[in-house]
């Protein structure tokens, strides 16, 4: 019997998990202690478990979607860059489980596709260096992160001068950070943090226009689609990792 018929959490028509069974709070406290396995170092990341049909001896993860939510961007990127390994990083357990089941279902219904995408349940604000080597990533995504409006909670924001040091470490020179939010103040904050950091520079208008990923920032995720339906604004900041000046 197909899993969608035996398990009510899966849609009979699409074979994909039903999102309503995996609902969770919009955001989690990134400073709280959570209990999940964390690799001791990037060499201990189990590629076989996440990419069983890929020769991981010659490939490493290149894209990281931090706070990936229900995986909309990842699913779009997986077919746009079929030879690139990518992961979502999500703290909420139910949401992580949804993304995992969604990817597994897509692999079944689309043979040969979505082998390059997976998801980690982890706290990216604490453990980024445990997953990625120096200069490993070519793209990092921060889409509609928790704004943490209160000033005392700004230290919980996923874009900050301190965390940008870590992101610069795991990004290769030329690697790109993509951010988007529908909160103007947070958009200004993220842009200012990136603008003031010595290891990032903004992409030109021409580069933004030519980058197919930029168009997905506001359309591929549940949050972006909701903002569009409500006629809201979004605020993007897209910056390139540059070499450290001597």
State how far the Cα of 201 lies from the Cα of 56, in Å rounded to an integer.
32
CA distance 176 to 145: 17
67 is known to lie in a ligand binding site = yes
Is residue 106 marked as binding?
no
Instruction: Give catalytic status of residue 146 as yes or no.
Output: yes
Interhelix angle 72-80/93-109, nearest 10 degrees: 30
Strand, coil or helix: 27: coil
Query: Is 73 labelled a binding residue?
Result: no
124 appears as a binding residue in the annotation = yes
**91 annotated as belonging to a binding site for a ligand:** yes
186 is in an annotated binding site: no
Does 222 belong to an annotated binding site? yes
3-state class (DSSP) for residue 170? helix
| Annotated catalytic residue within 55, 146, 165, 211 | 146
Question: Exposed e or buried b for every residue in 62-101, given b needs 16+ CB within 10 A?
Answer: bbbbbbbbbbbbbbbbbeebeebbbbbbbbbeebbbbbbb
Residue from 166, 201, 188, 193 nearest 235 by CA: 188
Q: Is 3 annotated as a binding residue?
A: no
Q: By the 8 A CB rule, do 200 and 240 touch?
A: yes
Report whether 77 belongs to an annotated binding site: no
- Whether the CB-CB separation of 200 and 191 falls below 8 Å is answered with no
Residue 191 in tokens: 């842009």
* Residues in contact with 157: Cβ distance below 8 Å, sequence separation at least 6, in sequence order: 145, 146, 147, 148, 186, 189, 190
Nearest to 41 by CA among 128, 162, 135: 128
The annotation places the binding site for S-adenosyl-L-methionine at 67, 90-91, 123-124, 143, 221-223
The annotation places the binding site at 67, 90-91, 123-124, 143, 221-223
Show which residues are catalytic. 146
């Amino acid at each position: 019997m197909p899993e969608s018929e035996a398990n009510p959490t899966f849609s009979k028509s699409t074979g994909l998990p039903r999102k309503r069974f995996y609902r969770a709070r919009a955001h989690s406290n990134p400073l709280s202690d959570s209990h999940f396995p964390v690799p001791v170092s990037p060499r201990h990341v189990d590629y076989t478990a996440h990419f069983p049909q890929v020769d991981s001896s010659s490939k490493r993860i290149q894209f990281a979607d931090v706070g990936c939510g229900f995986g909309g961007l990842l699913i779009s990127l997986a077919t746009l860059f079929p030879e690139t390994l990518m992961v979502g990083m999500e703290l909420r357990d139910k949401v992580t489980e949804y993304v995992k089941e969604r990817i597994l279902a897509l692999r079944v219904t689309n043979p040969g596709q979505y082998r390059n995408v997976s998801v980690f349940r982890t706290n990216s604000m604490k453990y980024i260096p445990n997953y990625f080597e120096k200069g490993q990533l070519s793209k990092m995504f921060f889409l509609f992160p928790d704004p943490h409006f209160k000033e005392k909670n700004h230290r919980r924001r996923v874009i900050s001068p301190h965390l940008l040091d870590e992101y610069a470490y795991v990004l290769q020179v030329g690697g790109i950070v993509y951010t988007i939010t529908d909160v103007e103040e947070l958009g200004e904050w993220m842009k200012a943090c990136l603008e003031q950091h010595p290891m990032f520079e903004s992409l030109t208008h021409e580069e933004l226009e030519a980058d197919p990923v930029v168009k997905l920032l506001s359309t591929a995720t549940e949050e972006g689609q909701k903002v569009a339906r409500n006629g809201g604004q979004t605020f993007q900041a897209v910056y390139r990792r540059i070499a450290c000046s001597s």
